[in-house]
Amino acid sequence: MFGLFKKKSEVEKLQEKYKKLMEEAYKLQSINRTDSDTKYKEADDILKKIEAIQGKS
């Protein structure tokens, strides 16, 4: 029924986490460059996981 009870796949969860980290990194970019770089690194690691999972499929 309209996907109300549909569980998210692992890729969808990782994509949401990636998007959130990228937004945080962008906001931190003008305030604290080192924290921003850390967030970008975490987002890059998640992107690599997403690509690895999609590569297996």
pLDDT digits (tens, 9 = 90+) for 3-55: 677 888 899 999 999 999 999 999 999 999 999 999 999 999 999 999 999 99
Instruction: Give dist(CA 44, CA 57) in Å, integer.
Output: 20
The Cα–Cα gap between 18 and 2 comes to 25
Largest CA-CA distance found in the chain, in angstroms, rounded: 45
| Torsional sign, CA 51, 53, 55, 57 | negative
d(CA 17, CA 43): 8
**pTM for the predicted model, two decimal places:** 0.83
